[in-house]
Each structure stands twice: as C-alpha cells, then as structure tokens.
Structure 1
C-alpha cells in the first residue's frame, strides 16, 4: 500500500467517522423518546379519564401542568417527561367536567334536566318529572369501534372528528361501559353521559 492510498483512506475515515457515530446512536435516541412519550401519554390519558364527567378536578400529577380551561366545562391537560434532556416529550389530552345547573339543595333530584351538583348521586344529568335526563343525546347509530381512553363517550370531539372524515352517517364510537353485556350491567347509570338503557337489547339496567 503506497502513501497516497494510506492518506486517502485516512481522509475518508476522518470525514465519515462523525456521521457513522451519529447513525449508531439514533436507535437509542428514538427508544428514549418513545419511552418518554409513553410515560407522558400515560399520565395525560389517566388524568383525562379520571376527570371525564367528574364534578371537580382531581390532583394534578407531578409530570403535568395545571389543567387549562377551554370552554363549556372542557379542559386540557399537558404532561411532559424528560424535561431538561434532548429526549423531552409532551402530550396533551382533553376532557370535560360534568356541567351543573340545578343547585337547589339536596332534594333528592334536580328539576331542570341539568346535573344537580347539590345531589351528587345524579351523575347522569339529573331528573325531570322523575325521569332520568342526560347531558348529551343518545347517538342514533354506532360503529363497531370502542371510544378512546381520552374521550370515553366520544362526546368531547372524537365522534365529531370521525364524522368530519367519514361523513355524518358514520356513527358514534361505543362507550367502554357499553362494550359488552357484562360492562353494561356493571355500570352505574348515574355516571352515563347519555342514555344507554337497554343498549344492544341487553335489558333495562337494574339501577336505571
């Protein structure tokens, strides 16, 4: 091997070495970012699920910023993992608290059809003329898909987003409490966001 070949080879290696080194750590960077995303997403999704339809906010997780109020009782929660590192990942999820408009004292049930915060047993929207009423209308058609964990009834934007993509006749997602006969029977009508009594022909709920 002559001196020219040696010098040429060393020059090529000198130019390529940094690029090779950078390529070698890319899988690690991707893995670390994916791990951080999973942690942040879990915190955001869990908080959103816990507060969906609740009457007040729970304690904000340490990974998350204080919930950001949107409109009509809706909030967003943003959670971050890996702050101060090149692998930081941030996730935002939205949810909606129960709306109150019947604070008339603990008289057993509400009067106007809204959720009566003074009667906390009426989570499904309260009563009107001794009949249950709910905060949202029952969809006329369902898809075969379960609602996502960040919008467990599909009423906080998920169904609207699907309709915008697939058309108004696409149908609504199925709430987790109506996913099977077992979950339906085990659910609490006080927490339903719309009326699913006798869903799928499974009979009247015993607590309806």
Structure 2
C-alpha cells in the first residue's frame, strides 16, 4: 500500500492519498483550500494513473474538509463521514465564522455522502479499511484502520505524543480518553499512526510515552 501525504491550508492539515497496485485509491481528509494545493493532488493522481473511489473524512472540522467541494466537482465523490459531523461538513463557512478565521473566499461545502458507522468496512483495490468510532475531538471522529498493513489514520484523535483538543462544540475530554484506552490502545503495537497534523508515529510509542494514555 502506498501513502502520499499532502500538508494543506494554514493549519497544516494532513491529507492522505492511499493506493495499491490496482491504482484504485482513497483520499482521506482533503483539506486543500488553495488552488495550488488542489492542483498538487490532481497532478499526483494523474501522474500515477490513480482512480479515487472514496473521499473519507476522519471528522468534520473545516481544516479537514476545505477540499470536499473540489473532490466532488473533480471526481464526483461526496465526503463519507460519521453522521454526527454532518452539520460541520456541510457548513464550512459557519465553522470558520465561529472560530474567528477569515480566510477570504471559502470553497463551497459538499453534502455528506455515505454515512460511516463503527466497524464498517471500506474497500478499495485489494485493501480494506475498518471504521473505528473514536469520539472526543468531535462527536463523529473516526479512525480508519487497515488490519493487513497495521496502519491507522487517526485524524485529530491522536498526534505524536499528544491528542486533539476537546474544547470545540461536540468535543469531550472523557470520550477522548475512552477512545484512547478502549480503541487505540488495543491496536497492534506495531501499528503506524498517520495523524491529522504532524508526523506519523507508532502505537507502541504512544501507549508507552504519550501522557494522555496514562
């Protein structure tokens, strides 16, 4: 499985394009706000002859879905996410106003497509991603886990030696701690975590050294 990371928008959000030898791919958390960011994704897909079949969202915060309208208009894919984050996904401008962000002309929001539930399986190429509901950062936060490859895309649930904030609407410190202890800590120790911001990490390091696991 091949993973390409794009660091996007002023919040330095990680968008991932995940593909395999079939050339099918999924796009995870397209936060491409600017034309150059969107063009970079298009160029990568075109140069590698990739066919995107899902746009998956770990959660609905604006920095993770700035590019949802672009993905819909370019590839015909609606964002797929947990139903609890639907309102956020479909009102990016409202989120920005609430947070006090003035980023000029914002891209159009995209309507939610398939709703994701805990333990759902998403298939592409020869691979599968399991949906793990990991609320706390938002009500609808999910992690996408590939059991075969021991890889997880955690959104803002967990970062390298840190965790996502819980002071936004729908956030819950208690739920986040439960997601860490009841879900993330039970992944295989060699699972590589690809977070929503910052560098990747390994679950064994997080369980051992991340203070929020203790």
- TM beyond 0.5: no
Task: Find the structure with the greater CA-based Rg.
Answer: 1
Q: TM-score, normalised by structure 1?
A: 0.27
Bigger helix share = 1
* Structure with more relative contact order (C-alpha pairs < 8 Å, separation 6 or more): 2
